[in-house]
């Protein structure tokens, strides 16, 4: 399940990933969050501890959404340090828009980095 996070900066779409998520779930959640906006947008997906999905599905969904929404200019995934190796091997590097990985301890940095999209940084 992907749920919108309320404490994200205004310029950023932040979603919390829990349970099992397939690529299409990611695409639908992003479509719902962005609507028809053309403004440059940062997107952060925070992988919760109970995420039991596949990082490869998450990567595939993000890559597809980046192609469909040209306004997505900064994409980030936040996950626990012990799951970082799995995330790195899951295909986040093949997206048209680079997807940056952050450790859970750096969640605020990920949100700030993604918010810079609206400011053109």
Tokens (6 digits) for 17: 């990933």
For the chain, give the mean pLDDT. 89
CATH topology of domain 2-119: Transcription Regulator spoIIAA (3.30.750)
Residue-range domain boundaries for the chain: 2-119
Instruction: Please report the sign of the dihedral spanned by the C-alpha atoms of residue 21, residue 27, residue 28, residue 32.
Output: positive
Task: Answer for the pair 5, 15: CB distance below 8 angstroms, yes or no.
Answer: yes
State pLDDT tens for residues 16-61.
Answer: 999 999 999 999 998 888 876 666 688 999 999 999 879 999 999 9
**pLDDT higher for 104 or 116?**
104
Instruction: Please report the sign of the dihedral spanned by the C-alpha atoms of residue 53, residue 57, residue 59, residue 62.
Output: negative
């Amino acid at each position: 399940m992907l749920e919108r996070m309320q404490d994200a900066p205004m310029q950023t779409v932040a979603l919390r990933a829990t349970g099992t998520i397939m690529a299409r779930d990611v695409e639908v959640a992003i479509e719902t969050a962005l609507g028809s906006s053309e403004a440059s947008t940062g997107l952060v997906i925070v992988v919760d501890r109970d995420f039991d999905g596949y990082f490869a599905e998450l990567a595939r969904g993000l890559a597809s959404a980046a192609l469909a929404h040209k306004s997505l200019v900064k994409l980030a995934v936040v996950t626990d340090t012990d799951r970082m190796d799995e995330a790195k091997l899951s295909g986040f590097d093949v997206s048209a828009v680079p997807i940056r990985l952050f450790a859970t301890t750096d969640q605020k940095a990920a949100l700030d980095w993604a918010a810079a999209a609206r400011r053109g940084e």
